[in-house]
Amino acid sequence: MQASPEGETKASPLHMDEVLDRADMTEIAAPATRFAVGTAAAPGALRRFGRWLGSDRIFPRIPFLLVELLFILVIFVPFLLTIYISVLKWRANRPFETAYFSGLENYEAVLSSDLFWLSIARTFYFAGVAVVVELVVGFVLAMLVHQCTRSKKFYTTIFLIPMMIVPIVVGYNFSMIYIDSGPLNQLLSPFLERFGIDPHIRWLSDPVAAQLAIIIADIWQWTSLTFLIFLSGFSALPRQLIDAARVMGATPWQNFWRVQLPLLKPAIVIAVIIRSMEALKMFDPVVLLTFGGPGTSTQTVAYFLWEQVWVFNKFSFGAAASVLLLIMLSVLIYVGIYLLIRQRSPVEGRV
């Protein structure tokens, strides 16, 4: 650079070339600089996302989110698929491409089926008798075992064995017991002959006897569950409250009726809900002992669904019946949970 006489600065030709070269390099480097800045911003966003994901508010909830996602996949997806099939006209022995939309036709067919309503009525009959007996027997056994100071663990283990046996094994064993020349008839024959009753009871071929046979098998296996629930309830009773009632002069009956039984109401409600839900889905003893027979005398609603789908290939009809059954069970579950939540302090004003 040289200073002119007038005080102005002029660039030499060589220096002008350098300026132009530097300008060109700046223009070339500018896009690269912008690219580098953009590339550096991406890891920054990832780091911020990682910090957000690992924060105290989000990270502890990740396992629950995974469980909820699994719940959606396992429960809601099959349920939505069942609803979708229930509004189609499709038989399992035909390609799915032949299915077509039929609206509520399957639901109308299910609701107009006499066999569907008979199977529901029979299911409620089986469940009602079985659950009541299981509750009473399980409660009595739990009360007796709870009062034992010795061999409590032994009796608890013995009474829990039936619940641990696989249902198919239970069904096979009872099918051997119920044959005409089986041990049950041999055991009952002296008493039946004394009253003039035919000792050769056809347990699995007579409609009334077959119903009783299924109820007995269910009671034998699932009384263990009610026993376990009630034993847990007895073990959780506050000893101070029971002793206080005894000191205040309450008789053993008053102590049980006014103190212990109200405290056991939540356990009773839980036992009723669980056993009612399972009994209304009764399937194993039916399919293993009678296959719904003789005729349809032992056909429960679960067996009805199985027969419609896997024997008659009526997938859409069975799906509609399944949805209706789910609605009925949901109403019962809601009522049971509502009663359970309404349980207040059970000994208020009783002691």
Two tokens, residue 163: 């619940």
Mean pLDDT is highest, among 9-13, 31-35, 126-130, for 126-130
CB 258 within 8 A of CB 246: no
Phi, psi of 287 (to 5 degrees): -75, -25
Q: Does the structure show a pLDDT above 60 at 11?
A: no
pLDDT (tens digit, 9 = 90+) per residue, 297-317?
999 999 999 998 888 888 899
Cα angle 186-294-122, degrees, rounded to a multiple of 5: 105
The CA-based dihedral angle spanning residues 57, 62, 63, 65, taken in that order and rounded to the nearest 10 degrees: 110
pLDDT in the model for residue 162: 94
Task: State the pLDDT confidence band at 336, using cuts at 50, 70 and 90.
Answer: confident
User: Can you tell me the distance from the alpha carbon of 305 to that of 293, in angstroms, rounded to the nearest whole number?
Assistant: 15
Position with higher pLDDT, 50 vs 128: 128
Closest CA to 159 of 133, 188, 139: 139
Looking at residues 282-299, what average pLDDT do you find?
Answer: 91
pLDDT in the model for residue 48: 63
Least confident of 39-43, 197-201, 339-343: 39-43
Two tokens, residue 42: 């991406």
pTM: 0.75
Q: Residue 88: which H helix or E strand, with range?
A: strand 88-89
147 burial level (CB within 10 Å; 0-12, 13-18, 19+): exposed
pLDDT in the model for residue 39: 46
Q: Does the structure show a pLDDT above 80 at 20?
A: no
pLDDT in the model for residue 310: 87
Q: Which residues contact 325 (CB under 8 A, 6 or more apart)?
A: 301, 305
pLDDT in the model for residue 150: 81
Q: Residue 111: which H helix or E strand, with range?
A: helix 105-111
Could you please state the CATH topology (level 3) that the domain comprising 112-341 is classified under.
MetI-like fold (1.10.3720)
Q: Does the structure show a pLDDT above 90 at 75?
A: no
Q: How many other β-carbons are positioned within 10 Å of the β-carbon of residue 199?
A: 15
pLDDT in the model for residue 45: 64
pLDDT (tens digit, 9 = 90+) per residue, 28-65?
444 444 444 444 445 566 666 556 555 556 656 667 77
Q: Does the structure show a pLDDT above 90 at 143?
A: yes
CB 131 within 8 A of CB 275: yes
Position with higher pLDDT, 43 vs 128: 128
User: Can you tell me the distance from the alpha carbon of 128 to that of 272, in angstroms, rounded to the nearest whole number?
Assistant: 10
pLDDT (tens digit, 9 = 90+) per residue, 204-261?
999 999 999 999 999 999 999 999 999 999 999 988 888 898 888 888 888 888 889 9
Position with higher pLDDT, 99 vs 212: 212
Looking at residues 77-83, what average pLDDT do you find?
Answer: 88
Looking at residues 106-116, what average pLDDT do you find?
Answer: 92
pLDDT in the model for residue 338: 81
Q: Does the structure show a pLDDT above 50 at 192?
A: yes
Q: What residue ranges do the domains of the chain occupy?
A: 16-53, 112-341
For residue 43, cis peptide bond before it (omega within 30 degrees of 0): no
